Chain A
Amino acid sequence: MNEITPTAVERAERLQGMGCKRKRVEDVRFVQGKGNYVDDLKLSGMLYGDFVRSPHAHARIRNIDASKAKALPGVIAVLTAADLKPLGLHYMPTLAGDVQAVLAEEKVLFQNQEVAFVIADDRYVAADAAELVEVEYEDLPVLVDPLKAMAPDAPLLREDIKDKTEGAHGKRKHHNHIFTWEIGDKEATDAAVAKGEVTIKELISYQRVHPCPLETCQCVASFDKIRGELTVWGTFQAPHVIRTVASLISKIPEHKIHVISPDIGGGFGNKVGAYPGYICAVVASIVTGRPVKWVEDRIENLSATAFARDYHMTTEIAATRDGRVTGLRVHVVADHGAFDACADPTKWPAGFFNIVTGSYDFPVAHVSVDGVYSNKAPGGVAYRCSFRVTEAAYCIERAMDILAQKLGIDPAELRMKNLIRREQFPYTSALGWEYDSGDYHLALRKAMDSVGYDELRAEQLERQEAFRRGETRELMGIGVAFFTEIVGAGPSRNCDILGIAMFDSAEIRIHPTGTVIARLGTKSQGQGHETTYAQILATELGLPADDITVEEGNTDTAPYGLGTYGSRSTPVSGAATAMAARKIKAKAQMIAAHLLEVHDDDLEWDIDRFRVKGNPERFKTMKELAWAAYNRVPPGMEPGLEAVNYYDPPNMTYPFGAYICVVDVDVDTGVVKVRRFYALDDCGTRINPMIIEGQIHGGLTEAFGIAMGQEIRYDETGNLTGPSFMDYFVPTAVETPKWETDWTTTPSPHHPIGAKGVGESPNVGGVPCFANAVNDAFKFLGSTHISMPHDNWRTWMAADKLGLHG
């Protein structure tokens, strides 16, 4: 027995529980190069797969000749659609209710679409063989402008569904139309816009970008003929969903499919859905009887996997002359590429875009979204977006700035006038969401005070005068963004993925010696779950985090979960973790009562133990109770100490933030220098401040990339201009600004630990903040809206259009 009795503070510290900057568990292997990523896997007899891809954006396939490829020594087989069709696998279902070609059958619909899959002894031979497959194409007219997709003379893209007048989300009104989705009060909104004292209308376009995690998509599929069992290791953010989908399309029973996500090198939504590479690897393994590895390269990743955005939002706000908003009307044309492979919950073909009323108290609003096909890569929802929240936030934050400019009101002041007030929470928006909690005015005030907002505006005025006098060729811009996110999908009543409700899960087991194994239905791709879930459990269970192992990603052992994306791990699985822990704690309390010979109600919890009320020297630590659970439970109670919880969240959570950015624009080159970026985030209860800060840094850097130069751009022949790191703007440490982070804490009232999730907030708030800053620099010269990305040449063109180059 230790003579020195630790204080309560010391006992709490030892737990390394919620709120502390616990060092990450996963780092130990990563800093030694001992991570276990998919391409690290080597199985005996393993083969390699590689794709033959179409150079054309839209063409009929006249012939595929794989004979030269097949003759190359080391080539085992070449799969085409003809081989997959008898298995019914030449198309696969998408998460959005569409189908996507696994290997192109009669035509190709986007550049780099998969046409054939070569399987060889090693990846070098596979690459050689892919070059030897000869495909004859016949060009077809190309469609890349989504605003022209529904023109009467627009080319027909999807011949496979040309007779379908009903899509997964209702009527199709044109051969390139996918769905129309509407929400809100159209009549009241039309009226508000019609009689608004001041109105603005702007086409706000969010360019197509790509999440671009550093590790590309990849898998190893291994079919065991003897057992009839399939094992797939892969870059899967949602391994259980992949397992269920694999079972449904392959007809292999689900219990004979083992899906494992090992370490994943970044996801950002790029690794949620299924790709032709996974299907082909599985088929190849079944056909050859050997494991098959598929690893895409960077150009393939950027050109064929889940892109993000491509939303064209015609936005109108009506307001009173003194700046109170009275209505919001948005019509969106959504470019989904050749197939609607959007990773949305089923009932939400436009994701949660109806968060577009943002942080403001709009009395009425209406949104309509038309999804269309084009000759581009399939997808839409990805890249730290929380299901289109990034699009919605960019839309409303730009629009509010445009409104402020028209009204002649400072953009921060306009926001202050319209932010939802603290007393209004829980707040039901005009587009149907119930925001859980927030103190918006406090947050914006804090942000403005922290950066010295009024002084910045005064400085800006001086610099504008200096510019007019010809003393400087730099323009100063101040960007403000106040975003509200909606994350934590989601309640079963309105959120499902392919019919599976979006609950999530935790299974916790305490061993006799008081250490713990926890398995979750989520899957980290860098968010530090091995560290943070243990912190939740440490606080809930009173056991040290270092004694708690967290596992994710093995579908055989992890309870069913919907995976990690949309910032849902903390809100959903974090809640499941707390709830499972509380079941264990309840059982432990009964054991304690039994051991101490008191009634359950005579006990109170004290950090790491149950103690007798009024008699604190009588206590049982959780560690002692763990041992007891295996040999001295009360009569009639099962031994053991474990629990499972499947958590169906009652609502989403609504993190929010106030971001302020200062830029200096070099008018003569278009170069935008970010002088300062301040980000205040409210994610409710903060589990690990160090990890939160890391998430903010990372998300802001992605936002910086998007706002300042990223685009996946197609020319008019459907040719991708720049799908590699030669052109796709991923900033280095030199370009990346320094980030200042701050916070307020408004717990979520419906969440067991009050936490909301934070991973995507910086991308949601960051992009409009940068965009508003650049736009703000040019406002005083009459500019109202400059589209992203704000790369050098476009910023220079904006300056040129304003006549600034003399």
Chain B
Amino acid sequence: MSKVQVPSKSQVPSKIQVPSKIQVSMQINGRAVDALVEPRLLLIHFLREQQNLTGPHIGCDTSHCGACTVDFNGKSVKSCTLFAVQANGADILTIEGMAAADGTLHALQEAFREMHGLQCGFCTPGMITRAYRLLKENPDPTEEEIRFGISGNLCRCTGYQNIIKAIRYAAATLAGKTYQEAAE
């Protein structure tokens, strides 16, 4: 849409030239991907529109909500704030790559279902993808550490409480333990 607070005059710079597309290669969910992209193509749109990975979602336009979170070279990254050209050579994991090849769900995916960590499902791909990296950073996080660890992911439905339980449940599962609801 046109900008807020500024008169609707053309903001396109005087030297309009369509910049050439750029070749990018990357790994997405274990698959090699090659594409020709416009420099300004945001990674989230590249994933959703061109790679048909519609798991990561768009929930805002100011890089706050985290619904677009992917795992990028071992880091949780908001794919709406990266250009696809910056992903050249990268190793990307999205929610679609979390289950095993035979369809077995990742412990986090099971845990979110087990603990009712989702309602509308819109924040869920980004949330689980972030939780995935969080548990790699810290395999046994406290509740406070989880809250801080997912503070880049907004949810409007759950109030976070069951998301935290889900992450703790998954942490327990991944460590080979049984989840016990912690006495608060």
Contact = CB atoms under 8 A, between A and B. Distances in A.
Let me know if chains A and B touch directly in the complex, using CB atoms closer than 8 Å. Answer: yes
Contacts of A698: 119, 156-159
Interface in A229-268: 263-266, 268
A133 B2 contact: yes
Contacts of A42: 49, 52
A112 B4 contact: yes
A257 to B, nearest CB: 26
Interface in A525-579: 525-528
A732 B119 contact: no
A627 interface: no
Interface string A297-324: 1111001000000000000000000000
A586 to B, nearest CB: 35
Contacts of B64: 725-726, 730
A31 B109 contact: yes
Interface stretch (B8-16, B20-28, B81-89, B172-180): B8-16
A434 interface: no
Interface string A263-275: 1111010000000
Interface of B: 1-12, 38, 40-41, 45, 48-49, 52-62, 64-65, 67, 94-96, 98-99, 105, 109, 112-114, 116, 118-125, 128, 146-148, 150-164, 184
A130 B120 contact: no
A700 interface: yes
Contacts of A53: 1-2, 4
Contacts of B94: 33
A719 interface: yes
Contact of A725 (B65, B105, B125, B184): B65
A402 to B, nearest CB: 29
Contact of B95 (A32, A694, A724): A32
Given A137-B7, A214-B156, A739-B161, 14 more contacts: A31-B118, A32-B95, A39-B48, A53-B4, A55-B2, A112-B1, A213-B122, A214-B155, A215-B59, A263-B121, A702-B156, A719-B5, A725-B65, A734-B148
Of listed B41, B48, B54, B60, residue having the most chain A CB within 10 A: B60
A592 interface: no
Interface in A119-163: 123-124, 127-128, 130-135, 137
Nearest to A50: B1
Contacts of A123: 45
Interface of A: 23-24, 26-35, 37, 39-40, 42, 50-53, 55, 68, 111-112, 123-124, 127-128, 130-135, 137, 212-216, 263-266, 268, 296-300, 303, 525-528, 690-691, 693-695, 697-702, 719-720, 723-726, 730, 732-734, 736, 738-739
Contacts of B49: 42
Contacts of B11: 131
Nearest 9 A/B pairs, CB to CB: A33-B55, A526-B120, A265-B122, A30-B121, A697-B159, A33-B95, A701-B159, A526-B119, A725-B64
B158 A694 contact: yes
B59 A298 contact: yes
A31 B96 CA distance: 9
A42 B94 CA distance: 20
B15 to A, nearest CB: 15
A298 B62 contact: yes
A33 B96 contact: yes
Contacts of A124: 38, 40-41
A698 B1 CA distance: 31
B10 A68 contact: yes
A135 B96 contact: no
A726 B60 CA distance: 10
A738 B147 CA distance: 11
Given A26-B121, A698-B156, A723 B4 contact: yes
Given A31-B105, A128-B12, A697-B161, A297 B122 contact: no
A527 B5 contact: no
B156 A32 contact: no
A39 B58 contact: yes
Contacts of B114: 23
A40 B158 contact: no
B161 A33 contact: no
25 contacts: A32-B96, A33-B55, A34-B55, A34-B96, A35-B121, A37-B57, A42-B49, A52-B1, A55-B2, A112-B1, A127-B1, A133-B8, A137-B7, A213-B122, A214-B57, A266-B156, A298-B60, A298-B61, A698-B119, A701-B156, A701-B159, A723-B4, A732-B152, A732-B153, A736-B147
A128 B18 CA distance: 12
Contacts of B147: 732-734, 736
B159 A52 contact: no
